[in-house]
Amino acid sequence: MEIVYINTPLGIAKISGDNDGVSAISIEDEGFISNVIPSVLLDAVQQLTDYFEGKRENFDLVINPSGTDFQKKVWQELEKIPFGKTVSYLELSKKLGDVKAIRAVASANGKNPLWIVIPCHRVIGSDGSLTGYAGGLHRKKWLLEHEKPSSQQSLF
């Protein structure tokens, strides 16, 4: 397993993976930046950098997260949420075919091992509120603002 630490506007991102794909991306408040980027993680580093620079809306990485079958099913559904859009936990539960599974869906969402790449930050409360986020609500708010379509400004 290879690991690299990169600087982002939201803290230090820790990226882990190997030849089978990226297995984890997490955010930390402090730490060190890697001097060398392992070749198996070059794409992940570049794509995250592009995302933060506003040059990327979708990720095209081989991913290999660890989780239960149910968690993986939830994460696959999260990957379908378009850039700049949000869904509620209830909507997500409906898409997965079981409205009563809302707590299990929320739990799986919270265990997402691939920060930003699997966009769990795009899931909000039914009332539009920013509900729990493993990286902290300040980061969730920043990410949603970052993805918000820019409004056309008047020239006059």
- pLDDT of 117 reads 97
Q: How many helices (H) and strands (E) does the chain have?
A: 5, 5
Sequence spans of domains, the chain:
2-52, 69-147
Task: Say if residues 61 and 18 touch (Cβ distance below 8 Å).
Answer: no
Ranges 4-8, 22-26, 136-140, 151-155: which has the least confidence: 151-155
- pLDDT of 133 reads 84
- pLDDT of 154 reads 54
Ranges 61-75, 111-125, 136-150: which has the least confidence: 136-150
Topology of domain 69-147 in CATH is: Arc Repressor Mutant, subunit A (1.10.10)
Task: Say if residues 41 and 49 touch (Cβ distance below 8 Å).
Answer: no
Q: Which helix (H) or strand (E) covers residue 126, if one does?
A: none
Task: Say if residues 2 and 29 touch (Cβ distance below 8 Å).
Answer: no
Residue 6 C-alpha from the chain's centroid = 16
Active site (catalytic) residues: 120
Task: Say if residues 22 and 16 touch (Cβ distance below 8 Å).
Answer: yes
- How does residue 110 score in pLDDT terms, banded at 50, 70 and 90? very high
Token output for 71 = 């968690």
**pTM (whole model) above 0.85:** yes
CA distance 42 to 35: 13
Task: Say if residues 10 and 45 touch (Cβ distance below 8 Å).
Answer: no
DSSP 116: T
